[in-house]
A and B are shown apart, each in its own frame.
Chain A
């Protein structure tokens, strides 16, 4: 066996907030796939003098693989025609793939572009269990980045039946089994109970509050959330339950969001794309920002965390398991759309969209996201996302970072947007805060890694994965973060002098909790009676 490769990144200004390093000039040493404390002075060097060194980026919530993402690609052939991506030229003539970009890039392009942006870990935030094998197959074709899947459980028929029957122990065993069977990393809840109602086809097509009954009077969004949050915490999963609340994107949904947070008081829970859940006003009567109320609650409760789900102006594709919301969006835009019931498990809706500065609601959404960022007291718990591709592409992160770091730029942008609904927004009061580089390192790397329980990600201490991004310092932070000079993934230099040069496969992040095998006996009967696949063919175990 050859000696592991060694590299010293020398003279860079290092931002490693997890280890309390805030802009110190120091070396970072890599041996094999890991960061090490020290290396002999004669090992190969990467000169990073005058550059900024951070851990590789960690995206806590994006949609990059699986059946819904792929359906989105199929819906958007015009974006493929207008945004083809030639294969990159890799070192040593290694095989590279061409692809397409647009709002939902093809698999290989997704990997290349995330790495090109300095991100080395990405979480696919919504995988239907039935489509888990598809999601893993796509992630196998998404190079460079390490990835994990969140499995959808908030509207799962088997789970809801157990709750209705009071079989809580069996429900917990089922969740533990399903996480392993689908090779998932965390539990995702989307509009708990709402999708089940949408699919049931009655006159009530969604839930309105967390105490609405879903089928049985003993099953409510509150109950679903309590059980799933409890399972995640009892199993000591690295990431707590990942919650997309009820009433996404609707005026006045702040009440539901706060009730949901209160329902889980004292428990660890992650609230995703919080921006879409922080609106005041009233249905049919108008919108306003309620970001202050939401972020004050988050600030005061250290057990909960959030990602923002910022809206960025430009094209996007809304894509979610929250099928009733997508129906509303289709009805209000008249754009092409897809809506699919995923059998016993969940739903899916897709509507291509564009957020325009001149549009009142889009401007409000943009402002609410920025308010959440700027009023958040603990960057470790309120991290960066655009809910790619829902609020905007991950390629817009550098622009978002500039909005956070540069008040002059932000105020200029604020003047350009539609002001109609911005009354009461904290942004108009002139939020002076500017994120520091260290805070950016927290919300894009150290924070998400900590919230995900990824101990070897998001920092540069000895033993960490050698995922490192090196930026050329530039006063325009958007430009700086869009074009890292070097990116190292697992010890391999993937981006060299700004060019993508290597594309090693990424690893999969998954959990495999213990469960009581008795649950599978009951499940087999359930599958025989209701499912389209046999129990034996279900899940996403690798096929040997």
Chain B
């Protein structure tokens, strides 16, 4: 047992590398050799995780991944616990259908982070994903529960068809945010393009937002501004073409 497992990208993939075997909780019961033997798919061909990453440490649910992972897809798929720190950018499908645990990305992520498997009706069902850079399209799509925080900008169709759960965006949020949203919240601290199917409800100080922002500051050390904590928010209800119990909470200056 070590303090943590560290995966370091040693051989850069020349094609897309689907590494949906990487999940912090999964490594808690595996030794370094077994971790290296886990299956990945590189450019449609089968390979082993150890063909690309050097593994140090073993049998720990604390995981750190280093290297340029922009071509690596599906990291944290189905993860149900543990802590994962990604020291740079990472590709699409991060935390796909994740159930629990925490993923902290010190960089940007590709599309569909916290989203659903192709065809599935539910994306992530629990856990937390913090993205310190930008998020690609469809972050939090179809999420059923859980928290996603984007410190940079979020791409198109953020929280698309989200069932419940929370997405916080510190930067700007692109078009199509919250389309087909059933319940759940999008907290937009920057600019957001709201779909026409959202309706303004009121401007108020939602009590849970300051709690959430203080938690993010304390737990992850995120640079949360006091004016966001003390600020007022416009509540827009939607998606009215769906269940309509969701909300976009847009920060407005005091």
Q: How far is the CB of B142 from chain A (nearest CB, A)?
A: 11
B245 close to A (CB within 8 Å): no
Is the Cβ of A77 less than 8 Å from the Cβ of B119? Answer: yes
Q: Which residue of B lies closest to A82 (CB)?
A: B117
Is the Cβ of B117 less than 8 Å from the Cβ of A81? Answer: yes
B116 close to A (CB within 8 Å): yes
Query: Which residues of A109-161 have CB atoms within 8 Å of chain B's CB atoms?
Result: none
Is the Cβ of A335 less than 8 Å from the Cβ of B121? Answer: yes
Chain A 63-97, CB-CB to B under 8 Å as 1, else 0, gives 00000000000011111011000000000000000
Q: Which residue of A lies closest to B118 (CB)?
A: A77
B211 close to A (CB within 8 Å): no
Q: Which residue of B lies closest to A80 (CB)?
A: B119
Q: Which residue of A lies closest to B120 (CB)?
A: A78
Residues of B within 8 Å of A75, CB to CB, are: 119
Q: How far is the CB of A412 from chain B (nearest CB, A)?
A: 28
A420 close to B (CB within 8 Å): no
Query: Which residues of B100-132 have CB atoms within 8 Å of chain A's CB atoms?
Result: 116-121
Per DSSP, chain A at the interface is helix
Residues of A within 8 Å of B116, CB to CB, are: 78
Residues of A within 8 Å of B120, CB to CB, are: 78
Chain B 173-191, CB-CB to A under 8 Å as 1, else 0, gives 0000000000000000000
Complex Cα distance A336/B120, Å? Answer: 9
With contacts defined as CB atoms under 8 Å apart, how many contacts are there between chain A and chain B in the complex?
17
Residues of A within 8 Å of B119, CB to CB, are: 75-79
Range, interface on chain B: under 10
Q: How far is the CB of B78 from chain A (nearest CB, A)?
A: 8
Q: How far is the CB of A150 from chain B (nearest CB, A)?
A: 29
Is the Cβ of B117 less than 8 Å from the Cβ of A336? Answer: no
Residues of B within 8 Å of A77, CB to CB, are: 117-119
Q: How far is the CB of A474 from chain B (nearest CB, A)?
A: 29
Residues of A within 8 Å of B121, CB to CB, are: 335-336
Residues of B within 8 Å of A78, CB to CB, are: 116-120
Most chain A beta carbons < 10 A, residue from B116, B117, B119, B120 = B119
Q: Chain A: how many interface residues by the 8 Å CB criterion?
A: 9
Residues of B within 8 Å of A82, CB to CB, are: 78, 117
Most chain B beta carbons < 10 A, residue from A75, A76, A82 = A82
Q: Which residue of A lies closest to B74 (CB)?
A: A81
Chain A 298-335, CB-CB to B under 8 Å as 1, else 0, gives 00000000000000000000000000000000000001
Residues of A within 8 Å of B78, CB to CB, are: 82
Complex Cα distance A76/B118, Å? Answer: 9
Complex Cα distance A79/B119, Å? Answer: 9
Chain A 323-361, CB-CB to B under 8 Å as 1, else 0, gives 000000000000110000000000000000000000000
Residues of B within 8 Å of A335, CB to CB, are: 121
Query: Which residues of B112-156 have CB atoms within 8 Å of chain A's CB atoms?
Result: 116-121
Q: How far is the CB of B183 from chain A (nearest CB, A)?
A: 14
Q: Which residue of B lies closest to A74 (CB)?
A: B119
Chain A 167-198, CB-CB to B under 8 Å as 1, else 0, gives 00000000000000000000000000000000
Residues of A within 8 Å of B118, CB to CB, are: 77-78, 81
Complex Cα distance A234/B116, Å? Answer: 54
Complex Cα distance A299/B43, Å? Answer: 61
Most chain B beta carbons < 10 A, residue from A78, A79, A82, A336 = A78
Most chain B beta carbons < 10 A, residue from A75, A77, A335 = A77
Residues of A within 8 Å of B117, CB to CB, are: 77-78, 81-82
Q: How far is the CB of A465 from chain B (nearest CB, A)?
A: 40
Q: How far is the CB of B187 from chain A (nearest CB, A)?
A: 26
Q: How far is the CB of B129 from chain A (nearest CB, A)?
A: 20
Q: How far is the CB of A171 from chain B (nearest CB, A)?
A: 42
Complex Cα distance A77/B116, Å? Answer: 11
Complex Cα distance A335/B78, Å? Answer: 22
Query: Which residues of A29-83 have CB atoms within 8 Å of chain B's CB atoms?
Result: 75-79, 81-82
Complex Cα distance A82/B78, Å? Answer: 10
Q: How far is the CB of A177 from chain B (nearest CB, A)?
A: 40
Q: Which residue of A lies closest to B182 (CB)?
A: A334
Most chain B beta carbons < 10 A, residue from A77, A81, A336 = A81
Q: How far is the CB of B152 from chain A (nearest CB, A)?
A: 29
Complex Cα distance A77/B121, Å? Answer: 11
Complex Cα distance A125/B80, Å? Answer: 40
Q: How far is the CB of B146 from chain A (nearest CB, A)?
A: 18
Complex Cα distance A361/B118, Å? Answer: 30
Complex Cα distance A81/B116, Å? Answer: 11
Complex Cα distance A416/B74, Å? Answer: 37
Residues of B within 8 Å of A81, CB to CB, are: 117-118
Complex Cα distance A351/B121, Å? Answer: 12
Chain A 398-425, CB-CB to B under 8 Å as 1, else 0, gives 0000000000000000000000000000
Q: How far is the CB of B110 from chain A (nearest CB, A)?
A: 18
Q: Which residue of A lies closest to B242 (CB)?
A: A334
Q: Which residue of B lies closest to A335 (CB)?
A: B121
Complex Cα distance A69/B118, Å? Answer: 19
Residues of B within 8 Å of A76, CB to CB, are: 119
Residues of B within 8 Å of A336, CB to CB, are: 121
Q: How far is the CB of A449 from chain B (nearest CB, A)?
A: 38
Q: How far is the CB of B215 from chain A (nearest CB, A)?
A: 32
Q: How far is the CB of A336 from chain B (nearest CB, A)?
A: 7
Q: How far is the CB of A333 from chain B (nearest CB, A)?
A: 10
Complex Cα distance A78/B121, Å? Answer: 9
Q: Which residue of B lies closest to A76 (CB)?
A: B119
Q: Which residue of A lies closest to B77 (CB)?
A: A81
Complex Cα distance A335/B119, Å? Answer: 11
Complex Cα distance A79/B117, Å? Answer: 9
Complex Cα distance A76/B121, Å? Answer: 10
Chain A 508-526, CB-CB to B under 8 Å as 1, else 0, gives 0000000000000000000
Q: How far is the CB of A56 from chain B (nearest CB, A)?
A: 35
Q: How far is the CB of A71 from chain B (nearest CB, A)?
A: 13
Q: How far is the CB of B245 from chain A (nearest CB, A)?
A: 14
Residues of B within 8 Å of A79, CB to CB, are: 119
Complex Cα distance A336/B118, Å? Answer: 13
Complex Cα distance A82/B74, Å? Answer: 13
Q: How far is the CB of B121 from chain A (nearest CB, A)?
A: 7
Q: Which residue of A lies closest to B20 (CB)?
A: A81
Complex Cα distance A79/B78, Å? Answer: 13
Chain B 209-251, CB-CB to A under 8 Å as 1, else 0, gives 0000000000000000000000000000000000000000000
Q: How far is the CB of B103 from chain A (nearest CB, A)?
A: 20
Complex Cα distance A75/B78, Å? Answer: 21
Complex Cα distance A82/B97, Å? Answer: 11
Most chain A beta carbons < 10 A, residue from B78, B116, B118, B120 = B120
Chain A 360-379, CB-CB to B under 8 Å as 1, else 0, gives 00000000000000000000
Beyond the given pairs A335-B121, A336-B121, 15 more chain A to chain B contacts, judged by CB atoms under 8 angstroms and listed by A's residue number, are: A75-B119, A76-B119, A77-B117, A77-B118, A77-B119, A78-B116, A78-B117, A78-B118, A78-B119, A78-B120, A79-B119, A81-B117, A81-B118, A82-B78, A82-B117
* A/B interface sample: 17 pairs, CB < 8 A: A75-B119, A76-B119, A77-B117, A77-B118, A77-B119, A78-B116, A78-B117, A78-B118, A78-B119, A78-B120, A79-B119, A81-B117, A81-B118, A82-B78, A82-B117, A335-B121, A336-B121
6 closest cross-chain pairs (CB), A and B: A78-B120, A77-B119, A78-B119, A78-B117, A77-B118, A81-B117
Measured CB to CB, the residues of A under 8 A from B are 75-79, 81-82, 335-336
